Structure 1
Amino acid sequence: MDVEPGWRALPAGRELSPELLRLREEAFAWLEPYYDRVHLTRAADWMLVLAPDAPEHLVLAALMHDLERSVPGGPSLDKANTSWDDLAYNTAHTHRSAEVVSGWLRDHGAPPSFVDGVQQPIREHEFGGSPEGDLMQAADSISFLEANGDLVTGWALRGECTVQKSEEKLRWMYERIRLERARRWALPYMERSIDQLRRAAAGEQQR
């Protein structure tokens, strides 16, 4: 790996608007209690590696793309029995996130370009489909594989799904990436997380 972003790093030499910087800090405060805040933070970091000149709304979209899960009443996924690429669940998740995030931005005085701009890439962060959606999917996947080895291993150890199903999640997060240049960054994280999962499962069987 020849590039890895610093924590909450911003591109050197790029001047970002005061509005983005304000909203970014407020978003960090919003996601602080969220269980997967490291993944979201790193998704925004990776977005700025994949596209240092990414539009400002895309930086915010990456940072907040999953936050519908922090609001009660959203869709739920049966990890044991539902495919990770299930269209119904992923559509419900991504569309609700677009609504939640754009509503939060509106309530925090964001310009209309941000409120409107985040919606499509957030809707596309699972499957891609447009240039911005493909960037979102790539940043989401790399970050998930980097940050969530413990999370996915925990699903298997707690019996929420099988070890095989947990490994399928990790492989799907890699294999779905549309941007070829993003795969070389995601691959070592996938391999590390699968190795962690297998070691933990083998250790559990020996007890």
Structure 2
Amino acid sequence: MESLLASARSWVKEHAGGQALHLLKTEEWLKRINPAASEAMLLAALTHDMERAFPGPDSPKQDPSRGPDDPLYLQAHSERSARIVGDFLHEQQAPPELTEEVMALIRVHEVGGWPAADWVQAADSLSFLEVNVQPFLNMMSNARTGWSPENVRAKFSWMYTRIRLPEARRWASPLYQQALERLQQQKDFFETGR
């Protein structure tokens, strides 16, 4: 189990660039909130956004004006990540059943739907709230990105409220409150200049 996870960690570090920390932290959060997480759950948590590491003509583009829960974007992103991770696992000679399970979890990592999927989704949200708040605040300061303060607030709120597991939501609550406070501070700074 550990050698496949170690290979996946190396793959993430080598290819995911600025997203690597989020992916690595997602695996860490899953281990923290569910010490009994399966290998498939850990692999899915670690690699769930890998499509972003391999841009191509079929890369989905998120339009902030459509909201953070745009089902077309979420499905395209999740399906493309599952396909890319499935190819990686096949190259690593992972058992086909394990590969299928990881791909199934990645396909629903944005929405959850069954216990294992809900754990992966919760770990994704926790990691997002820990390490991806500042990048979204930075995007807000660049008008060309389309991420207004309202869009960023909606993203932060969605990443928190989508967590289905009460125990994970308890971990997420202080991170979410800090994210909202940082958002308000940045809004105040832009509006007043101090």
Q: Are 1:86 and 2:70 an aligned pair?
A: yes
What is the TM-score normalised by the length of structure 2?
0.91
Q: Are 1:57 and 2:40 an aligned pair?
A: yes
Question: Which residue does 1:40 correspond to in 2?
Answer: 23
Partner of residue 75 from structure 1, selected from 45, 60, 64: 60
Q: Are 1:166 and 2:149 an aligned pair?
A: no
Shift of 1:113: 3.0
2:162 and 2:115 map into 1 onto residues whose CA distance is: 15
Percent of residue pairs bearing the same amino acid type: 36
Aligned CA RMSD, in angstroms, stands at: 1.3
Matched residue count: 187
Residue deviations 1:132-190 (CA, integer Å, cap 9, x gap): 11111111111101111111111211122111110110011001111111100011111
1:52 and 1:165 map into 2 onto residues whose CA distance is: 34
Q: Where does 1:57-136 land on structure 2 (aligned, <5 Å)?
A: 57-73=40-56, 74-79=59-64, 81-136=65-120
SS of alignment partner, residue 37 of structure 2: coil
Question: Which residue does 1:12 correspond to in 2?
Answer: none
Larger relative helix fraction: 2
Could you tell which deviates more after superposition, 177-186 or 107-116? 107-116
What one-letter code is carried by the residue in structure 2 that aligns with 1:29? S
2:116 and 2:83 map into 1 onto residues whose CA distance is: 17
Question: Which residue does 2:11 correspond to in 1?
Answer: 30
SS of alignment partner, residue 109 of structure 2: coil
What is the TM-score normalised by the length of structure 1?
0.86
Runs of 4 or more consecutive aligned structure 1 residues displaced over 3 Å after TM superposition: none
1:200 and 1:30 map into 2 onto residues whose CA distance is: 35
What one-letter code is carried by the residue in structure 2 that aligns with 1:151? P
Structure 1 portions without partners, runs of 5+: 1-19
Q: Are 1:184 and 2:160 an aligned pair?
A: no
1:42 and 1:102 map into 2 onto residues whose CA distance is: 21
